Structure 1
Amino acid sequence: MSLRINTSAVRAVLLADGWHVIVPGSFRLDVLEFSQHDPVVPAGSAEPNPIRSTGGDGFEFEEEDGMVAGPLSSVLAVSYAAPVKSLGSGFDQLAQLLQGEVVQAGGAQAVHFSYGNRQFEVWVDDSGQWAFSLLGHRSGDRELVSHTGLSAAEFRDLPSMVMGEIKGGFGRAQDRPESDPAEGESRSANKRLE
């Protein structure tokens, strides 16, 4: 295993004399070479500075008041910006939270997931809002589609909203007989959710 540190993300370097806050992006690693002349070589010119000594692996960085260079072994630690963890798109995050998968459906992305013994899908509708339905009911009866009122950018609250509606009865009413007197009031409430 190796600890990979992006040198362009280094913000400070700890040397024996303490922490050095560096100019962003100036930390470099290379072979440490010493010469008697300015190390700048004009483009297309032959190397005018003969190397007098090679110091092995080295580092270099810029501070506000100048440059610091030395052997790599003198670096005790570096402070760097933590890498940004890609959470993926809203669809990727939603699929992970709902334990589903991102699919292409109807020419656009959607998330298919299961709850209980049912399959559902979630997508961004034509108005730019999240919608969901039982799988396969997206383009059918619009009463079987729930429009959440959340914009495409607002996906963090979506899983709890979707699961709340599903657990509350979404998608179950069409499986019940129309004339079940024991379910009268809850049947009409479920129909509204659909």
Structure 2
Amino acid sequence: MSLHIVTTEVRSVLLADGWHAVTRGSFRVDSYEFSTVGAAEFAQARERAPVWSGGGSGFEFEDKDGDLVAGPLSSVLAVSYTAPEKPKAWSFEQLAEKLSGEVVLLDGVETVRFSHADQDFEVWLDEAKQWTFALCGDREQVWQTGLREPETPVYQLLSQMMSEIKGVWGFGRPSGVRDGVEPQPQA
């Protein structure tokens, strides 16, 4: 896993001398170099313009006074940025609709009841907010998906559930068919 920081959302940067406010959208990361000429003149030079140092990873941003602050990326101790919008939890009604099922309340727990391959199933969030499902009425033998609410998209939950229903429990395949291989007639 990597930490995904959108540079245009950086609000402040912590350098050795403290926090610096960043003009919105001005923080950027690129290679940097020091030169005796301006960027436009450097870019249009027919001969190599004098470069004193550089080639490393650097940063640049405009501070609240309109000044540019730049330096080696290694001097950035931390950044504060606008957090991405959290996924919105989807409703049990949406899940029931996708499964052609219905929402029921069982022992105070909101549950979606649905059918697949002539079997009735239930899916709900357990106490740890983990998606769990079982055959209807058999909450002693449950299957925990390892997926948590609300960050799990509906399609991911459905895909994993259907895969486990078919592959592990065997529902949804004709009798005797495993991994797409038809049983061979006995001689």
Q: TM-score range by the shorter chain?
A: 0.3 to 0.5
Mark the structure with the bigger radius of gyration: 1
TM-score, with structure 1 as normaliser: 0.46
Of Structure 1 and Structure 2, the greater helix share is in 1
